[in-house]
């Protein structure tokens, strides 16, 4: 039958009816808060290109983690910004380095009430800004980098991270990290693999957030924006290497990729709503061009609808507060 017997508008007649028939929902536990901690700060440092986001001090980071527990967030993903950098990112493997100290601080603050995640990558720690060490020709040396990732992973697990996020897009990174963790008797430390991470123009504000020293680009190791099938291949490789969860990054410009991965993945799928996505909505809202709260909610709902089980978003705490208000 068709009109007039079929009237889909019946399912949209009121907020209560729309809630009843909603195919996709948002909940605080589906949200993960990315957070930056910078060595040497005495006060939080606002990130100009990401209004509302800061580089934390140890104390403000602990408060943010405690708030995340109160709001019921699923997790917090930590990024460290060291005071000194070098060619091999040694601050990343220092047990007393900024990121490992932050992991210990946050675990001491929240225990097991919040999943503490940490970034396994060298870009914040190298003086050239690449995600790996460079060979004599200035190219990123995949296999030499893997050795450092293994050391970083064990340090972060020792510091107390529940979940590690190898994000450098080095071939074999999940297998090497998994083996290193198992050899160090950290079998229960999980891996959230940045499996389909694209070279994107939308990372710009993140570079300010971590004070990136990058010269050039990362197109020889991050994925090409033109490629779709390759993402499934990358995910399959990470699953075979032992990934417990997989991620698509960025999110909003890659919803087709996210949908493909969600359809084939036997493990939970995350998507990272990255800095440029955040900044665009904040800028448009600041100019009065869009409704900020509605746009934020719709953007994250769209990522969930495309198939993400969890979403890393800089709005995680604010959005969780709105969701709690709604109840």
Give the integer Cα–Cα distance in Å for 89 and 174.
19
Catalytic residues, by residue number, are 197, 249
Give the integer Cα–Cα distance in Å for 38 and 54.
10
Q: Which of 124, 139, 126 is nearest to 217 (CA)?
A: 139
Beta carbons within 10 angstroms of residue 91's beta carbon: 23
Give the integer Cα–Cα distance in Å for 64 and 156.
20
> Is 304 assigned a ligand-binding role in the annotation?
no
Beta carbons within 10 angstroms of residue 56's beta carbon: 24
For the chain, what is the radius of gyration of the CA atoms? Answer: 20
> Is 314 assigned a ligand-binding role in the annotation?
yes
Give the integer Cα–Cα distance in Å for 240 and 259.
20
> Is 49 assigned a ligand-binding role in the annotation?
no
> Is 218 assigned a ligand-binding role in the annotation?
yes
Give the integer Cα–Cα distance in Å for 274 and 64.
19
Contacts of 243 (CB under 8 A, 6+ apart): 174, 191, 192, 193, 195, 267
Give the integer Cα–Cα distance in Å for 115 and 104.
13
> What is the dihedral sign for C-alpha 138, 37, 319, 28?
positive
Q: Which helix (H) or strand (E) holds 149?
A: helix 142-159
> Is 38 assigned a ligand-binding role in the annotation?
no
Binding-site entries: 207, 218, 234, 275, 314
Q: Which residues are annotated as a binding site for 5-aminolevulinate?
A: 207, 218, 275, 314
Annotated binding residues for Mg(2+): 234
């Amino acid at each position: 039958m068709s009109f007039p017997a079929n009237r889909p508008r019946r399912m949209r007649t009121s907020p209560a009816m729309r809630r009843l028939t909603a195919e996709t929902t948002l909940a605080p536990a589906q949200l993960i808060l990315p957070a930056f901690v910078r060595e040497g700060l005495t006060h939080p440092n606002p990130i100009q290109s990401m209004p509302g986001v800061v580089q934390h001090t140890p104390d403000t980071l602990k408060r943010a983690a405690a708030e995340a527990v109160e709001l019921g967030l699923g997790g917090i993903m930590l990024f460290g910004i060291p005071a000194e950098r070098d060619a091999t990112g040694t601050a990343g493997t220092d047990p007393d380095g900024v990121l490992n100290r932050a992991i210990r601080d946050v675990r001491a603050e929240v225990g097991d009430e919040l999943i503490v995640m940490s970034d396994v990558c060298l870009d914040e720690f190298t003086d050239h800004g690449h995600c790996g060490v460079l060979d004599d020709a200035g190219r990123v040396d995949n296999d030499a980098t893997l050795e450092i990732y293994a050391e970083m992973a064990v340090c972060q697990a020792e510091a107390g991270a529940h979940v590690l996020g190898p994000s450098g897009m080095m071939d074999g990174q999940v297998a090497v990290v998994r083996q290193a963790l198992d050899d160090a008797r950290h079998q229960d430390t999980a891996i959230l693999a940045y499996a389909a991470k694209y070279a994107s123009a939308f990372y710009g504000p993140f570079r300010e957030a971590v004070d990136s020293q990058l010269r050039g680009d990362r197109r020889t190791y991050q994925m090409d924006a033109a490629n779709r099938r390759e993402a499934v291949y990358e995910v399959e490789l990470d699953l075979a290497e032992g990934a417990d969860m997989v991620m698509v990054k960025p999110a909003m410009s890659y919803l087709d990729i996210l949908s493909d991965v969600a359809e084939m993945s036997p493990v939970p799928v995350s998507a990272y709503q990255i800095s440029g996505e955040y900044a665009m909505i904040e800028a448009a809202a600041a100019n009065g061009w869009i409704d900020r709260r509605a746009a934020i909610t719709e953007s994250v709902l769209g990522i969930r609808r495309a198939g993400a089980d969890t979403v890393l978003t800089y709005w995680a705490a604010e959005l969780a507060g709105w969701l709690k208000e709604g109840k």
